[in-house]
Amino acid sequence: MSTEIGWVQANRLRIVEERPARATLAHLDQAMSPAPSWAALGWLETSSRSCAKFVDVAAKVPGANDDEGALMRRELKANDEVERLLEEMRDKR
């Protein structure tokens, strides 16, 4: 189950389009990888329909946050690199 929850956490913001007063769309073609199982798609639906339930389950599943943590570390490292490059450009002026 941790694989499915991890996949939803890694892809939800990228693929789910919540439209006010209309149907919620899941653009599965925009996912970083295919869903590991049908269960992952079920958890994706749960994350949209009952966010509190999904958050509760995700917090209890061991290893589900590993992918998100690694992603956050990569993003922070990339941000640091961009800031360093901008600082170098400012210093050259």
Q: Which two tokens stand for residue 64?
A: 């589900």
Q: Domain segments of the chain: what residues?
A: 2-92
Please tell me the predicted confidence (pLDDT) of residue 93.
73
More confident position, 78 or 15: 15
Please tell me the predicted confidence (pLDDT) of residue 17.
93
User: What are the pLDDT digits (tens) for 33-64?
Assistant: 999 999 999 999 999 888 888 888 888 886 65
β-pairing, 16-17 vs 25-26, is antiparallel
Tell me the H-state helices in 1-93: 2-15, 38-49, 51-60, 66-92
**Mean pLDDT within 57-80:** 74
Q: Which two tokens stand for residue 72?
A: 């956050």
Token look-up 């925009």 returns: 30
Token look-up 């490292």 returns: 77
19 — phi, psi (to 5°)?
-105, 125
